[in-house]
């Protein structure tokens, strides 16, 4: 498989990583219909853990079956499929070699106090990732929460072990908890901070939510206003996140949050593309529709990243 | 021992497991009067840890003797016997090879604060399970409790080690503690969530309680009502749990909770059977009766799963 | 599975073993058409390693396929199937739980100097036995050879690890090499010595060749003649071996060596039965015939051990 | 990447392996111009270790550069590239993800006594294979040599560790040393024996040399002649080797030995194809020609395996 | 590189350290325009973690790129560059050997409760420092805070491991939290206490903030006043800190806190020099200016330490 010039350039940014990790990043970047472009669409299915099976799968009952998601990601020509241990175990042999997988190592759940405890349990090991043939491990941190320091340290351990084994790391960085109110969680200054900390923690691929133009921290608000950092359009905010990810030298993918209308999803993808982001992670917006609708939606998103729409 | 087509089909769902684990699952599924049908009745005796010996065994004093339970499970033609370390140690040699055993790895007890602390101590090791000739390890989690994140991580460690040694895992998933009130603990939306998390954690056999038609979480309540997910009969609720266990690709057994009337027990078994569940775990309802009564009761339950009643 | 009185008696002789090892011995003793009788017929297929594939399998080409042997052992109602790592790996998942397996841990081969080097390589681990769901490990020693001290120590290590994990051990004890000439290798005094050393080394099941009435050692010859130890019939010699195996308190199975006529095979089985031996290991004499012939031959051997012929 | 039906069938033969190992086998089988056909051409460059740099690379000086070989394998559309530690280290980052690599773990060299010692040093670790992003480890055994028992045991250790980490194993099995004369080393009965032992040792991909119709062992000679095992054409001999590799259920690739004329190389490939072999390993015959000549030669070999020539 | 007499003298103070650690201290002391003088200027860039990317880098956007800081430190002729994991990973290969690096092991962040939680997460390992070729690890403690005891113990672990591996340690010691008010944090008696504890904890290089003449503790206030310890000038206070660092036998570098006017920065440097301090750590005051301005500022600071201004 000849790597494209663009993928080689991206790999060159990961200059301290071993060839094993680079090869796994290359596998993700070269897979599917966006293979070789430096853009990615990843299917994550950890909502069963986060919100329970009914909220996750009842809207599209075939999605109760773990094989459904492997097949959807393959048929839609996506770059990778991310899920917790049990979901991968139930399909990893059938789909071995068919699509890069990301083992989601920690998960929260909405049975915790308040339905929303900003903590997670680590539910898998790097050895699991190797035996299941995964290309990367995935981990979630909640910057701002009281648990964040522990989470950073859990990631440090898992990440060091994963890198030594030639695996890549994907870090979901979601500001949440502590002093952050709901507006602050999606504020652009907080979001860029979350992306930057993920980069500092050594993540290879960073996942953040699309931000609003709100400013959540009074110190950084001064800087944004003094320097006139552009944030009125979504594309500008994506560009601001990319800058915060080592001036664009770390891969960043974005999610739009809860399921929403198709046009909003397409607008998001165009903004990510135009702002220089590396792509989308689309969970509920894909697997909670019928398979045909999901394939049609993912097809348009892929075409947007291909610059065709 | 020739495996039946049904057992081979079930084993095929455990596609990432090694032949050792598959062999132990086969041993449980091929044992006893239900051997080969894909249905199971398991005898668990950990109530001594949970409620103390008087509450557990005084109603039927021969049950103070660990051998009593091995013999009961064998004579009733059950699939497996589950108990804590000491109970198995006191009979494992006498009954070696006579019935598959499940080493219950953690246990709560009613001397804890409030008599009901939603936490457990891990009281055995995977090495114990091997030296005692067990086919599986058993573990309890309390989704919803403050201890759940730690419990998930304890299971992660034990489960990874057990799987590498060719053992199977049985996960008791009992919503409890935290924000959950008594009604929520048995609510169908919470119960399916508990079953799903057990599957995500990589359990081979999942044990939940039979659920009520109550909905305990306001977010999932919306989904249940919007989608009209059937939950008025016990069989419908069992079917809902099975769907949540990877669309029926993970074995799930059910318990009915506290000791109750025989008719209620038989109705439960029919509902489990008709809803597609894989069987029953029956502790107090069997060993707290006289031996003859228990054998008669278990005989009828087995006959129900055989479709004869 | 209710153990028979006879199997329980046999297990009682292994009084220092843990319940896991007893359970695995029980599995072997309770399997197949001889299950529960204390007699065993085991299919070993390591001749490919010992003599190469053409000599082993060309007489019956379907036997080139590893699945053939699993299926033969199951269909013939045998107690266990023994083979080296690769042979078990290629069928262990398909036949998980269908027949107890013995992982042959070391193997010689006829490409060694003289075609017959009295040494072996250890080609598998106890961890392999666990992940493949084996009931026992198998090992070969060559009492008399220069390599024997090393072999004893290799067995010590593997055996200690296997026992701690609840596995049983099967020890092939073949006098060979050193000062032993060809006659001595099969001499009754040497053969009983080989069986006794295997018992002393802690083996659970001992495998020796049927002996001749030759006496290979001048010191023991004096004793045999002075005490008039009976050795003229094969049954007497089997009885002598059993006595040497802790007065019959260790399981001993016998092989007849190279492929030979059916009547000789049946005579051997009757002698083993009448001398109190525990059964036969029959490799080449079964799988080098056509499947129908092998099934017919094994059927008669089983019937002989059942006392029907 | 959708796997072909043929590749899925091949993966099903590796039934005891974890999904990680299956994924790496799939990567090799799906790569290059033969991707998906079940046929493979692999480029091995360990001759520098075996014969020194001048004998290996002076015929085509650009081949002194490790990058040359990665690029050749990629440009020729081969399935994998195999080399010792240093060769892979000098190119693994540049070509990360561009072609599956096999880390050759042991190597002989011609500075040993006699220039031809039938032994090897283990020069890399499984951790090296992971950090370099390799899909498999490679190992050489010399059946027949005095070193073979040690080699088998070295492979046992490396192989168990590699399999647990989700890597595949490639075993070079070259009869050599001990009682084997030069004719015997390539004799068909010895070659099938070598292939069979590699399968028994648990190798996923077996590499042997194309055999002559000579019979090197007097015992197996009898069987070949008695059974009339076809061996007069190279295709018949390839078929005999495949039978010996678990009746074709293990992947076997062949080499033709020393550099030779193009027509002989093409005839070899047709015989491998027609005999049911899985492909060629072509070292000296490719990299000791100019790059254009090598690409032309490899193109024709690929076309032969595609059935076009 | 011949070490100067002054550097040899400094190294002699670290008499219990192994030659590896001494070599790394020597690398830092011999690097750049101050190489050999015993004076140092170090560039730290961990403000992205502490204050977020906008507050840190928006004032000088090229600073979003990790390579910018390596290049700035090299071009300015500084002694070392200190940063968290991700920042070093993104440049360590490109600038390997070009400048000594210090891996900052823990970091706080302003999303924590109050924007200012006196705790930190450990986000890197000593193994990371070795693989990235660092000369030292850096760590921050907050004497006075509730977290300090944990922090001391974290440092103990990391420091022991680092020293065993021949790395040097740099300890940021910032009084903060607990009973300390804002004035006390910079008080001279508290500052000397902080420097002394760092020395006691075994740090090789100590980093404190320049102190005020305030006295923060009533007990030490009595002593300062009774003994008339000079503290009215900054140079006197630096001298007091140096005395507290084993009478000057530990290297101490100073920072001035928030970005400020150039003259104040130069005055600080002269005070450090005149008080016998070992140099400056200058982060925001350098990288938040344009590159030319930063180079000009650093040039004057270096000249001050050279005694030229």
What CA–CA distance (Å, rounded) separates B186 from B184? 5
Q: Look up the pTM and report it.
A: 0.93
Chain B nearest-CA distance from A107, in A, is 9
Least Cα separation, residue D276 to chain B (angstroms): 29
Q: Can you give the pLDDT at residue D252? A: 98
E vs A contact (3+ beta-carbon pairs below 8 A):
yes
Nearest by CB to A153, from E113, E114, E121: name it.
Answer: E121
Taking an 8 Å cut-off on Cβ atoms, the answer to whether D17 and C90 are in contact is: no
Ranking B108-112, D111-115, D207-211 by mean pLDDT, the lowest is D111-115
Mean pLDDT throughout A111-128? Answer: 84
How far B21 CA lies from chain A's nearest CA (Å)? 13
Q: Kindly list the residues from chain B whose CB atom is less than 8 angstroms away from the CB atom of residue C74.
A: 1-2
List Cβ<8 Å contacts ≥24 apart for D225-228: D227/C54, D227/C58, D227/C59
A-chain CB neighbours of D164 within 8 Å are: 127, 130-131
Residue A181, chain E, CB below 8 Å: the answer is no
pLDDT of the residue at B10: 98
* Chain C neighbors of D18, CB-CB under 8 A: none
pLDDT of A122 higher than 90: yes
Indicate which of B144, B181, B200, B201 best probes the interface with A, i.e. most A CBs within 10 Å of its own CB.
B200
**Structure-token pair, residue D243:** 């039978």
Q: In this structure, are residues B278 and B38 in contact, taking their beta carbons and an 8 Å threshold?
A: yes
- How close, in Å, is residue A101 to chain B by CA atoms? 14
Task: Reply yes or no on whether the pLDDT at D150 is more than 80.
Answer: yes
What integer pLDDT is reported at residue E257 of this predicted model?
Answer: 56
pLDDT in tens, A27-37: 999 999 999 99
Contact D18 B16 (CB under 8 A): yes
Spatial separation of the C-alpha atoms in residues E103 and E90, rounded to whole Å: 13
Chain B interface disruption, residue of C8, C10, C17, C20, most B CBs within 10 A: C20
Nearest to A57 by CA among A71, A44, A70, A47: A47
The pLDDT value recorded for residue D124 is 93
In chain C, which residues have their Cβ closer than 8 Å to the Cβ of B11?
96-97
Going along chain A from its start, the domains and CATH numbers come out as 5-305 (3.20.20.70)
Question: Mean of the per-residue pLDDT values for chain A?
Answer: 94
Contact between A210 and A237 (Cβ < 8 Å): yes
Q: Return the CA Rg of chain A.
A: 18
pLDDT tens per residue across span D19-34: 999 999 999 999 999 9
Of C53, C88, C124, the CB nearest to D192: C53
CB-CB neighbors (< 8 A) of B20 in chain C: 96, 130-134
Q: Tell me the CA distances in angstroms from E309 to A239, E153, E260, E303, one per residue in order.
A: 44, 42, 20, 6
What is E189-230 written as a DSSP string?
HHHHHHHHHHHHTT-SEEEEEPPBS----HHHHHHHHHHT--
**What HEC string does C146-213 produce?**
CCHHHHHHHHHHHHHHHHHCCCEEEEEECCCCCCCCHHHHCEHHHHHHHHHHHHHCCCCEEEEECCEC
What is the average pLDDT across B170-195? 94
Query: Nearest C-alpha of chain B: how many angstroms from C219?
Result: 42
- Sign, CA torsion A74/A80/A82/A86: positive
pLDDT of amino acid D281: 96
Over residues C111-134, mean pLDDT: 87
Task: Judge: C54–D223 Cβ closer than 8 Å, yes or no.
Answer: yes
Of D21, D26, D130, the CB nearest to A166: D130
pLDDT one-digit tens code per residue, A133-159: 999 999 999 999 988 999 999 999 999
DSSP SS3 for B237: helix
What value does the mean pLDDT of chain E take?
Answer: 93
Percent of chain E with pLDDT over 90: 86
| Minimum CA–CA partner of D184 in chain C | C111
Contact C58 D249 (CB under 8 A): no
In chain A, what percentage of residues exceed pLDDT 70?
98
Pairing assessment for the beta strands D106-107 and D121-122 based on DSSP bridges: antiparallel
Q: What percent of chain D has pLDDT over 70?
A: 97
Position E118 scores a pLDDT of 64
C94 interfaces chain D, CB cutoff of 8 Å: yes
Which residue of D150, D151, D197 is in closest CB contact with C49? Answer: D197
Tokens for B107, please give them: 């246990």
Question: Measured between alpha carbons, how far is B141 from B156 in angstroms, rounded to an integer?
Answer: 12
For chain B positions 108-137, those within 8 Å of chain A (CB to CB) are none
| E15-39 per-position pLDDT tens digit | 999 999 999 999 999 999 999 999 9
HSE, side-chain direction, 13 A CA sphere, residue B129: 33
Please report, rounded to a whole number, the percentage of residues in chain B having pLDDT higher than 70: 97
CB A200 within 8 A of CB E88: no
Residue B201 sits at the chain C interface (C-beta within 8 Å): no
A174 counts as catalytic: yes
Whole-angstrom CA distances from D252 to B157, C47, D78, D98, D280 are 38, 21, 16, 24, 9
Measured between CB atoms, does D80 come within 8 Å of chain A? Answer: no
pLDDT (0 to 100) of residue E240: 95
- Report the chain B residue with the minimal C-alpha distance to residue A96: B16
Q: Is the pLDDT of residue A115 over 90?
A: no
| The pLDDT of residue D259 is above 90 | no
The answer to whether the Cβ–Cβ distance between B18 and D18 falls below 8 Å is yes
When mean pLDDT is compared across A63-77, C172-186, D290-304, the lowest value belongs to: C172-186
To the nearest whole Å, the CA of A35 is away from the closest chain D CA by 11
Does D58 lie at the interface with C, CB-CB under 8 angstroms?
A: no
B19 → closest Cβ in D16, D19, D164: D16
SS3 A208: strand
Is the Cβ–Cβ distance between A134 and A103 less than 8 Å?
yes
Q: Tell me: the pLDDT tens digits for B77-101?
A: 999 999 999 999 999 999 999 999 9
Contact E/C (≥3 CB pairs under 8 Å): no
Q: Give the per-residue pLDDT at E297.
A: 96
**A201 closest CB neighbour out of E54, E85, E131:** E85
Select from A146, A150, A196 the Cβ nearest to the Cβ of E53. Answer: A196
| pLDDT reading at D258 higher than 70 | no
Q: Residue A23: pLDDT band by 50, 70, 90 thresholds? A: very high
Is B93 at the interface with chain C, CB within 8 A? yes
Which residues of E have a catalytic role annotated? 174, 207
Which residue is listed with tokens 């769902």? B13
Residues B123-171 have pLDDT tens digits of 999 999 999 999 999 999 999 998 899 999 999 999 999 999 999 999 9
Kindly tell me if the per-residue pLDDT of B117 is higher than 90. no
Q: In the predicted model, is pLDDT for residue A200 greater than 80?
A: yes
Residues of A in contact with B195 (CB under 8 A): 53
What tens digit of pLDDT does each residue of E132-178 get?
999 999 999 999 988 888 999 999 999 999 999 999 999 999 998 88
Instruction: For chain E, list the contacting chains (3+ Cβ pairs, <8 Å).
Output: A
Residue C261 confidence class, pLDDT cut points 50, 70, 90: confident
A26 touches chain D (CB under 8 A): yes
Check pLDDT > 80 for residue A195. yes
Chain A closest-CA separation from residue B219 CA (Å): 8
CB contact under 8 A, B97 and C27: yes
CB under 8 A, 24+ apart: contacts of D70-74:
D70/D94, D70/D95, D70/D98, D70/D99, D71/D95, D72/D43, D72/D286, D72/D287, D72/D291, D72/D294, D72/D295, D73/D43, D73/D99, D74/A1, D74/A2, D74/D98, D74/D99
Cβ distance B63 to B56 under 8 Å? yes
* Cβ(E266)–Cβ(E300) below 8 Å: yes
Band of residue E13 on the pLDDT scale cut at 50, 70, 90: very high
Q: Is residue A246 predicted with pLDDT exceeding 80?
A: yes
Q: How confident is the model at residue D126 (pLDDT cuts 50, 70, 90)?
A: very high
pLDDT the model gives residue B107 = 86
The answer to whether D259 and D285 are in contact (CB under 8 A) is: yes
Torsion of CA C240, C246, C247, C251, to 10 degrees: -80
Neighbours of D58 (CB within 10 A): 12
User: Is D166 in the A-facing interface, judged by CB distances under 8 Å?
Assistant: yes
Q: What is the pLDDT of residues B223-261, one digit of tens each?
A: 999 999 999 999 999 999 999 999 999 999 999 755 578
Q: What pLDDT shows up at residue B257? A: 57
For B188, nearest residue in chain A (alpha carbons):
A54
- Band (pLDDT 50/70/90 cuts) for residue E258 is low
Report CB contact under 8 Å: E115, A247: no
pLDDT for A259 equals 60
Percentage of chain E modeled with pLDDT above 70: 97
Instruction: Tell me what the mean pLDDT of segment C135-163 comes to.
Output: 94
The neighbouring-strand residues paired with A83 are: A103
The stretch A52-56 carries a mean pLDDT of 94
> Is B217 in CB contact (< 8 Å) with chain A?
yes
* Segment D270-293 mean pLDDT: 95
CB atoms within 10 A of CB A193: 31
CA D142 vs CA B9, C179, D117, D118, E284: distances in Å: 42, 29, 10, 7, 64
> Token pair for residue D224?
């070949």
CA distance D34 to D80: 11
Interface B:D, ≥3 CB–CB pairs < 8 Å: yes
Chain A within 8 Å of E91 (Cβ-Cβ)? yes
Q: Which residue has the tokens 């079940």?
A: D38
Per-residue confidence band for B208, with pLDDT thresholds at 50, 70 and 90: very high
Number of H helices, E strands in chain E: 15, 10
Contact A220 E54 (CB under 8 A): yes
Which helix (H) or strand (E) element contains residue B206? strand B205-209
Q: Looking at beta carbons, which residues of chain D come within 8 Å of A74?
A: 2
Give the pair of three-digit tokens for residue E118.
């006196």
- Nearest residue, CB atoms, D97 vs list A22, A93, A133: A22
Quick: pLDDT tens for C10-52.
999 999 999 999 999 999 999 999 999 999 999 999 999 989 9
Which of the residue ranges C36-45, C142-151, D134-143 would you say has the lowest mean pLDDT? C142-151
Query: For residue D47, how many C-alpha atoms fall within 13 Å in the half-sphere facing its CB?
Result: 24
What digits encode the pLDDT tens for the residues C48-80?
Answer: 998 999 999 999 999 999 999 999 999 999 999
Write the residue in B18, B25, B133 that is nearest to C19 by C-beta.
Answer: B133
Judged by 3 or more CB pairs under 8 A, whether A touches D is yes
pLDDT single digits (tens) E236-252: 999 999 999 999 999 99
For an interface test with D, give the residue of B8, B12, B14, B16 to mutate (most D CBs within 10 A).
Answer: B16
Task: Give the residue with greater pLDDT, D49 vs E123.
Answer: E123
């Amino acid at each position: 498989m000849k790597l494209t010039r663009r993928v080689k350039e991206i790999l060159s940014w990961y200059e301290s990583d071993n060839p094993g990790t680079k090869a796994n990043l290359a596998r993700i970047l070269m897979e599917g219909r966006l293979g070789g472009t430096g853009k990615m669409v990843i299917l994550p299915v950890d909502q069963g853990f986060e919100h329970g099976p009914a909220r996750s799968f009842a809207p599209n009952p075939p999605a109760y079956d773990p094989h459904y998601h492997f097949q959807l990601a393959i048929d839609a020509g996506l770059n990778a499929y991310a899920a917790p241990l049990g979901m991968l175990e139930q399909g990893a042999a059938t789909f071995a070699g068919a699509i890069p997988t990301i083992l989601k190592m920690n998960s929260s759940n909405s049975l915790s106090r308040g339905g929303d405890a900003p903590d997670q349990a680590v539910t898998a090991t790097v050895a699991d990732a190797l035996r299941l043939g995964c290309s990367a491990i995935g981990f979630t941190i909640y910057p701002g929460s009281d648990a964040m320091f522990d989470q950073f340290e859990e990631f440090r351990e898992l990440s060091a072990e994963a890198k030594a084994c030639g695996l890549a790391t994907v870090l979901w960085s979601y500001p949440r908890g502590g002093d952050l109110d709901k507006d602050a969680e999606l504020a652009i200054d907080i979001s860029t901070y979350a992306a930057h900390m993920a980069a500092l923690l050594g993540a290879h691929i960073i996942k953040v939510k699309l931000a609003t133009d709100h400013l959540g921290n009074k110190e950084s608000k001064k800087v944004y206003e003094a320097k006139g950092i552009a944030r009125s359009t979504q594309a500008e905010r994506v560009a601001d996140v990319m800058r915060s990810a080592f001036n664009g030298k770390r891969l960043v993918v974005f999610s739009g949050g809860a399921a929403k209308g198709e046009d909003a999803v397409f607008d998001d993808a165009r903004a990510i593309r135009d702002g220089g982001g590396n792509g989308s992670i689309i969970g509920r917006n894909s697997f909670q529709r019928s398979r045909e609708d999901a394939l049609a939606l993912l097809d348009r998103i892929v075409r947007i990243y291909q610059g065709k729409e």
